[in-house]
Each structure stands twice: as structure tokens, then as C-alpha cells.
Amino acid sequence: DTAAPELTASTVGAATSKGFSLFLSGTDEKGLNAFRVDTRGEGDDVWVTRYYNAPASGSGTLDVDIWRQGNYAVRAAACDTDGNESPLADVGTVFIDTTSPVIRSLTITNITEAGFSLHHRVTDNGTLAGLSVTLTSDTGETRSSFLVTDGESDFPWSAEGLTEGVWTISVTASDAAGNESRYTFDWKYTAGTARPGLTVARLGTP
């Protein structure tokens, strides 16, 4: 058999901090044996080649690990059991993001009998997913919430169920690639009238 298989479809999917997904589909008279995937980082001279077993159906989604930040060109081919390969097809480019968001500042403001506001400023080299905020009291009570953010806003927190005492506030910022950064600090909450807040600033590298 000297006839090359055919790569009929190739689509780059979601990228994470470790790599990306790649949908490939191909056909061959005797059946496919493998898919070939080549990647080359921006500025690199050499392509890195990987082979993946082809599903019996001839189509499937592969997880391609990179583990290094940067822009990567991607090309692919279909392979049969006799070692024939389809012509390499340019699939496109993908950006692998391994940089965690940076929590620049956290400020507790507007402290009243109704609750308080948590103001945050977070930066990222890509797209932020949001903030996970967890409050844990010195008696073991826990309250959690998730905030979708574009980088800076005020998050109102109701005082309902918030007992007086020392609370540990843990804030985790995550981006679309799954990178995370976390900052934790203690704050003493006392119900009552408005009073000065608390600022934890310059948490990350400028």
C-alpha cells in the first residue's frame, strides 16, 4: 500500500496553561493508524513532532501538551498502518498562557450594618475568568462566592449571617487558561455603624 491517507478535518480547540485540544479526522482504505501533530514555537527553528493513536472511527479530539508559554504554529497529518502519511496541513496558531493573574490590591470599604464592599484590582496577560472569595471565621464558619470580573470592581457582601469576630479572607484570581493566584489575610469584623475600611495593596509585581 503506497496510497496516502487523507486528513479531512483539523480544528484547534481550547487552550489551557499546559497545552490545547485539537480535533482531527481522516480516512484511509485500510484504516488510519495514527495522527501526526507538529508544533513550533514563535522564534524556534525546529518543529516538535508527536504521534497519537487514531480512534477506530477515524475522528477524535487530542490533548496536545506544551507546558511553555508562547505562540505556536500547528500542522497535522494522517498516517496509515503501512507508514504512509497525508501531506502536512497547516492547522493554525495557538497561544499557550502559563502566567498567573496578579492581585494588585484588595480593599474593604463601605462597612455598615448591612455589610461591606470588597474592592479589587487584578491584572492578567490574557482573559480573566473571575475571583473566588472565601470567608472563614475564627469559629469555623465559611462563606464563599464567585465574582466575574474584568479586572477592577466592587463586590458587595451582605452582613446576613456574618458574625462578629476575626474572619480569614481568601481571594483566588483565575484566568481563562486556568492559571491561579491567591492572597489570604485576616480581618476583624464588628457589626455597627460605618467605620474606616482596610486596604491590602501592592500584592503583585508592578
pLDDT 10s digits, 71-124: 999 999 999 999 999 999 999 999 999 999 999 988 888 877 778 888 999 999
Q: Which domain holds residue 72?
A: 6-96
- Looking at residue 37, its pLDDT comes to 98
Q: Which three cell numbers stand for residue 189?
A: 469584623
By C-alpha distance, which of 10, 72, 20 is closest to 41? 72
- For residues 69 and 127, membership in a common domain is answered with no
Residue 206 lies in a domain: no
Percent of the chain at pLDDT > 70 equals: 92
pLDDT, tens digit (0-9, with 9 covering 90-100), for 1-17: 788 999 999 999 999 99
- Looking at residue 31, its pLDDT comes to 87
Confidence of residue 199 (pLDDT cuts 50, 70, 90): low
Residue whose C-alpha cell reads 464588628 in the numeric block:
190
- For residues 34 and 81, membership in a common domain is answered with yes
- For residues 112 and 193, membership in a common domain is answered with yes
Task: Assess whether pLDDT exceeds 90 at residue 19.
Answer: yes
Domain count, the chain: 2
By C-alpha distance, which of 171, 162, 88, 109 is closest to 134? 171
Distances (CA, A) of 134 to 1, 121, 146, 150, 186: 62, 17, 9, 19, 12
CATH number, domain with residue 76: 2.60.40.10
Residue 19 lies in a domain: yes
Residue 43 lies in a domain: yes
- For residues 72 and 144, membership in a common domain is answered with no
Residue 107 lies in a domain: yes
Which distant-in-sequence residues (6+ apart) come within 8 Å of 99 by Cβ?
69, 124, 125, 126, 179
- For residues 41 and 107, membership in a common domain is answered with no
- For residues 133 and 88, membership in a common domain is answered with no
Q: Chain-centre distance of CA 47, in angstroms?
A: 25
Residue 40 lies in a domain: yes
Of 78, 96, 114, the last residue of a domain is 96
Confidence of residue 205 (pLDDT cuts 50, 70, 90): very low
CB 91 within 8 A of CB 12: yes
- Looking at residue 113, its pLDDT comes to 74
- For residues 146 and 186, membership in a common domain is answered with yes
Q: Give the C-alpha separation, 75 to 73, whole Å.
A: 7
- Looking at residue 129, its pLDDT comes to 94
